[in-house]
Chain A
């Protein structure tokens, strides 16, 4: 509990520091930082539209962040969540458009399953390449993201094109569209699905034998092998698990937000999710909160752009400064510093350098 309070204070200080730096930028361009920040907060939380935007941003980010974090627990640095979102999305769109003959609940389920399966198959590729040939997954997933993007891009400007001015698919059947509960924002019931999926994912990781295997392999693969857990299989399964989460994110975006597959819709969803997970060092419990924070920051930034004449580039700069400062764990680590000073009292007060033991 005390720790929680400490980290809250730390977080508040980080925000304060970021705000000060941001304020300097804003004052340089001759705007009033107070009203700018008011616009930022308003843009993130005030009113149905703004709050809805934040929630709509949060939904896919939480899933992609968990997708990355789950991979990381199993020892995978999976940059490929973005590709999984794209392919999950296109699968959901295809089923949503063409399988309208199914009754509604089954049709909806089919969309989700299709997205999960396709995304899982996609994540299987780098997983298997790493497990069986030692191909570095950072390398393969960075490259495969482009492939996923071009595949979907081809589909929606070719075979699946709606024939309108944009590269996009036909709309999915109305029955599978997810109800948007904060109109006009696109926050939709997918958020609750995402939260449930997130809870299940965290539960799987912490409470099941599968999760145990993932964590064991991620922490020490040769130990895993020795106790009879096949690290290669588990690594591949971890990637598949990660892919499933990415696929669900894509499915929710398609069914809940857009209603059709829009070319390049997931640009940065995967990356920002990865960021959310990394900032909290893949802590599964903190990851959703970080995703929410990033989601709010994003809609707040839009609000700032909309309500003031602060240019978007400044808004984005401030956002980036926020993130950079938020990554720095040891900033404002008063507790630790004090302890060192105390214990070093009789001797030198030089900062500790006990890094690795």
Chain B
């Protein structure tokens, strides 16, 4: 018997050889916001997926509202009032927002979906919680923040009483995150229970009532928010102390390494079309690009790195024009690139670590003699990088899909940084990775800069932008809405510019 809305005891789950959760516990009280934290791969998502019935667990008991539940399925979970916003959004791109929300719980009019009734129901939740969404857009037309709101409305409209949010803030701006917290507070006020997974300790401290920590699949402990501090949490998570705020080194900027002149390029959405952008990056400098996701940052990076056609304007890398050259050509001239989406772009998940590491080297003599891959050299090289960048586990013949997010990201970072290019484009380099990995990736970027490489950093995480960049440009609707130096930049100024305000006004903000 238990008096918790959710209680999971002694949970074990293996995926083939991988042990994702061993002896997992969590106890959630009604009406609390319960944070679940842990490093990448600690098994947080797996615990929650087991609770949601996405796959069966190998051992342990699950109790929901004081009933032991066997054979949990998503359908069953939903009926029990569990709603989950997954780490990767469960939204069908080709369908509209409304269709996605109604999916599985469609109001019916005869055989057809009664969209009118559905729309009215959804509107109720929009009004109640002040969640702003556009119901008739398709998912690929909306921003990540909006997609998240869609996910929340989706589970609310299904009558969720127990709400699981798996890293909801990883993709949000601070303003959006604050908005989310407001919503969570309202939900809590309405008596709903929230399980909140995050890597960001300050958020956890801000919003949660109690905090459970997992490490390497195992339960470590649960603490009251009021009785703990971030340092202790980090220690519980990682097993050692961490230092997130790396000391920024002196700007030692040299020659222009990237010169973007009046760049125009196509966009997936109207507001993400790039319409005339100019800026420079110097050697030994980190230029940060801030902005709300979907304001053209992705398109800009693609245009610079050769992945998108430049429609007008010039891109010059270390004095050489690289406008519309092929990716391989641009890379050959010294461009390196950590892409924003490691699973889609950065890695070939089905291939091994070493195969991913050499992806940018297959043309090199050392790696392929007469177009025949040199296996030994490749593996040696990969092992070297794995050591240097602390990729765990240290087995480079593992497929990258079995790595945790942080380690997968380290593979990408290692490959790109080891190229020793003239410019490193780092797009959301720490998105969704744990603080241990964040720490190491940030210090790597800092080191790269110290070696005299120019770094172009795009991040939705303002704290990251502020702590790393020497200069910051802010993008809004495909243009630059302002440029700030590190010393003059603040959260609020950036936030204001991200909403489209002008620099002078920002100064007064």
Q: Is the Cβ of A219 less than 8 Å from the Cβ of B351?
A: yes
Query: At the interface, yes or no: A30 with Cβ under 8 Å from chain B?
Result: no
Query: At the interface, yes or no: B244 with Cβ under 8 Å from chain A?
Result: no
Taking the closest CB of chain A, its distance from the CB of B54, in whole angstroms, is 8
Query: At the interface, yes or no: B372 with Cβ under 8 Å from chain A?
Result: yes
**In the bound complex, what is the Cα–Cα distance between A159 and B339 (angstroms)?**
57
**In the bound complex, what is the Cα–Cα distance between A349 and B98 (angstroms)?**
38
Q: Which residues on the A side are within 8 Å of B305 (C-beta)?
A: 226
Taking the closest CB of chain B, its distance from the CB of A335, in whole angstroms, is 12
The answer to whether A343 and B346 touch (CB under 8 A), given A226-B337, A348-B71, is no
Taking the closest CB of chain A, its distance from the CB of B399, in whole angstroms, is 11
Q: Is the Cβ of A208 less than 8 Å from the Cβ of B373?
A: yes
The answer to whether A230 and B326 touch (CB under 8 A), given A216-B348, A222-B344, is yes
Q: Is the Cβ of A347 less than 8 Å from the Cβ of B70?
A: yes
**In the bound complex, what is the Cα–Cα distance between A344 and B372 (angstroms)?**
47
Q: Is the Cβ of B371 less than 8 Å from the Cβ of A209?
A: yes
Query: At the interface, yes or no: A154 with Cβ under 8 Å from chain B?
Result: no
Interface size class of A (residues with CB under 8 A): 20 to 34
**In the bound complex, what is the Cα–Cα distance between A357 and B363 (angstroms)?**
34
Q: Is the Cβ of B371 less than 8 Å from the Cβ of A352?
A: no
* Most chain A C-beta atoms within 10 Å of own C-beta, residue among B15, B339, B348, B375: B348
Nearest residue, chain B, Cβ from A213: B362
Q: Is the Cβ of B362 less than 8 Å from the Cβ of A209?
A: yes
Q: Is the Cβ of A216 less than 8 Å from the Cβ of B359?
A: yes
Q: Is the Cβ of A223 less than 8 Å from the Cβ of B55?
A: no
**In the bound complex, what is the Cα–Cα distance between A230 and B56 (angstroms)?**
41
Q: Interface residues of B, CB < 8 Å — how many?
A: 37
Residue-wise interface mask of A (204-228) relative to B, using a CB-CB cutoff of 8 A (1 in contact, 0 not) = 0001111011011001101111111
Q: Is the Cβ of B373 less than 8 Å from the Cβ of A212?
A: yes
**In the bound complex, what is the Cα–Cα distance between A45 and B211 (angstroms)?**
70
Q: Which residues on the B side are within 8 Å of A348 (C-beta)?
A: 56, 70-71
The answer to whether A228 and B351 touch (CB under 8 A), given A208-B373, A347-B56, A352-B56, is no
Nearest residue, chain B, Cβ from A226: B345
Residue-wise interface mask of B (35-59) relative to A, using a CB-CB cutoff of 8 A (1 in contact, 0 not) = 0000000000000000000011111
Q: Which residues on the B side are within 8 Å of A223 (C-beta)?
A: 344-348, 359
Query: At the interface, yes or no: B360 with Cβ under 8 Å from chain A?
Result: yes
The answer to whether A215 and B362 touch (CB under 8 A), given A226-B345, A346-B59, A353-B55, is no
Query: At the interface, yes or no: A354 with Cβ under 8 Å from chain B?
Result: yes
Which residues between 295 and 353 of chain B lie within 8 Å of chain A, taking CB atoms?
305, 307, 326-328, 330-331, 337, 339, 344-351
One of A220, A222, A228 near B326 (C-beta < 8 A): A228
The answer to whether A350 and B56 touch (CB under 8 A), given A209-B363, A219-B350, A222-B344, is yes
Which residues between 371 and 385 of chain B lie within 8 Å of chain A, taking CB atoms?
371-373, 375
Q: Is the Cβ of B373 less than 8 Å from the Cβ of A228?
A: no
- A binding-site residues for B, Cβ under 8 Å: 207-210, 212-213, 215-216, 219-220, 222-230, 343-344, 346-348, 350, 352-354, 357
Could you name 29 residue pairs across A and B whose Cβ atoms are closer than 8 Å?
A207-B372, A207-B373, A208-B371, A208-B372, A209-B371, A209-B373, A216-B351, A219-B350, A220-B348, A223-B344, A223-B345, A223-B346, A223-B347, A224-B348, A225-B327, A226-B345, A227-B331, A228-B331, A230-B326, A230-B327, A343-B58, A344-B56, A344-B58, A346-B60, A347-B56, A348-B56, A348-B70, A352-B55, A352-B56
The list of the 5 closest CB pairs from A to B, nearest first, reads A228-B328, A227-B359, A354-B55, A228-B327, A343-B58
- B binding-site residues for A, Cβ under 8 Å: 14-15, 55-60, 70-71, 305, 307, 326-328, 330-331, 337, 339, 344-351, 355, 359-360, 362-363, 368, 371-373, 375
Query: Known pairs A207-B372, A223-B347. 9 more at Cβ < 8 A?
Result: A208-B373, A216-B348, A219-B351, A222-B345, A223-B359, A225-B307, A226-B337, A230-B326, A352-B55
